[in-house]
Structure 1
Amino acid sequence: MLSDLPIRKIIHVDMDAFYASVAQLDAPELKGKAIAVGGGGPRGVISAASYEARQFGVKSAMSGQLALKLCPDLIFVKTDFERYRSISNQIRAIFLDYTDLVEPLSLDEAYLDVTENKKGLYSASLIAEDIRQRIYDEVGLTASAGISINKFIAKVASDYNKPNGQKTVNPEDVLPFLEALDIRKFYGVGKVTAEKMYQKGIFTGKDLKSKSLEYLKTHFGKSGAYYYDVVRGIHTSEVKPNRIRKSLAAERTFSENLSSEIFMLEKLKLIAEEVSKRLHKNNVSGKTITLKIKYSDFTLQTRSKTLPYYVKEAALILETAKDLLYQDRLNNSVRLLGISLSNLNTNAKIPKKGKADNSTISVQLKLKF
């Protein structure tokens, strides 16, 4: 029952077309124009697109060549992750002015638990407005926000009035909101799952809610229980300010397909050095090294090896990656190589600061967000 759950005030802040907006911020002549971050060159893949480009159907993970066909006037700009991280840190500092319970999901989005906040403000909606205004005034970018009783609904709501808007789902509105929601809007329902649900007559939250727990488990496996709960507004995951990193990786897409392991060694060396750099920066090491291989026909293969000791030096990472490369014959010419380290030495629990009170609070239908 929703009325038996802890009630929190959760905000999900999502920057609007972050990478592209940063490019337009740094180069004002690009404002109002269709731009794509990354994707330049014959083999490039787009990392992000401005809203002007999205109107033509340009989107992330699309090849630059296809994007140009859709939008002939598309302007390509290079990625600049150091710049993105710098701005992300500015934005996070604004979040921390309101609460210590900030859980970053990426450089451009985060959850905030403002049930108890540093400003002593009662309304989470007003806090979200204040945060978005400060991001615009101090950083020069726009953000969207979703506000509700848990992380799931807040995230869904943040996409509701994009760009540069926000959506509040009050406790009394949670169930009607979810019942009317298109199933494609449910966080955690991907394209393949949505198609499967359509085939079974599930188009909205109301349709999903009509299915029993047993039915959803039978047809959607382990995810069935998740779908059963979230459509009823049940999602008890807390905002965790100290999320433990599980892996670090780097990869490269080549301008021309490579057909010999010998030609790949130089590329692997550069990738291993980048992974090592990121490990040192985050002060972590790992035991499991995974080699990612994407072939010219876009099929993907991974090969892994777990070492008896932690590593973060480029030479040791490269040595293992080479062993994995030579472990078996390649299926085809290769367009991408990547190296990731997992099983990191971050397993020790990090003390939580300012953890919210998780005692059960009855839902007050007139509680204002």
Structure 2
Amino acid sequence: MDAKQAFRAIKQGNVSPIYVCYGTESYIMNEFIERLMEQLVEPEHREMAVVRFDTAETPLDVIIEEAETLPFLVPSKIIMVRDSVLFAAGKESNKVEHRPEKLLAYMGQPSETTVLVFVVPHEKLDERKKLVKTAKGNDSVISFSPLQSEELLQWLLKRASNQGRSMDKQTAEELLRRVGTDMHALAAETDKLCLHAGTGGSVTLESVRSLVPMATEQNVFKLTEELAALRTAEAITLYYDLLKQREEPIKLMALLVRQFRNMLYVKELGSQGYSPQQMASQLGLHPYAVKITGEQARKFSQERLASMLSELADLDYAMKTGRVEKSLGLELFLLRTGSQGAS
């Protein structure tokens, strides 16, 4: 099942005895686990009712024994198990021996007083394993993948609305441009803006621009936009601001290389008929990052992107060997790129 179905089920009181939660969106996964705990355990009982393990340190036999043991002084308990070896393709430690057949047997007859939750922080499960097939057959597997760009915007609007504040889509987009797609950071910045707006107030575009600092990676996104639009002066001003923030030119260059490379990949994958979702999976990017990268890539030809990557490779060598002063070398690259444009 997907995350939305899982949230809906526990809200209706339909709690499964076993969950296998996997995916790269840790914020939503943590939120699901928190909702599950709220449904099953009183806040004052959490110390006794929540047990935590890690399969990298604890044998499966010990975990199953705990699952089969009746809870102490509480009606039910939750066992949280961080895992990379049972359900994913992680390498097992030589110090810890697991017997998957014990878990398979438990899946057939789980305890009525225990909810066993496996947290697998991987993009995919190992579909070859019988444990994965059995868990899927029992509808115990939940996927927590990054939200699509439109879903992320709606999530920001809803978070503000839930706090009695309003926010329009343009403001939410500016917040995304400044913070990026990390939902933990987005939640913190949204809450800060809502506090500033006050009860019944509005989170405005001006408040986002004045209160939310631009993350380094987002500044590099902006830098490439300025270069593509031939706004060389704006690009150089942004570069100077980053230097004032003590950002290392070599780090900034590495981020530029990554962004130009991603733009080239997006153009190539797009020409092969890949969808944005497929591109995100292929490149290991958030869907929103693919959307922004695709918009930027349309302003550059493939030949121009390849040429800039070649220039940056030469510059990297020159900077690291001392042939070029680092900050000046990158500034000259920006000036040349801005004057030559995207074609």
TM-score norm. by structure 2 comes to 0.25
The one of the two structures with greater contact order (alpha-carbon pairs below 8 A, sep at least 6) is: 1
**Which has the greater radius of gyration?**
2
Structure with greater helix share of residues:
2
TM-score norm. by structure 1 comes to 0.24
Structure with greater strand share of residues:
1
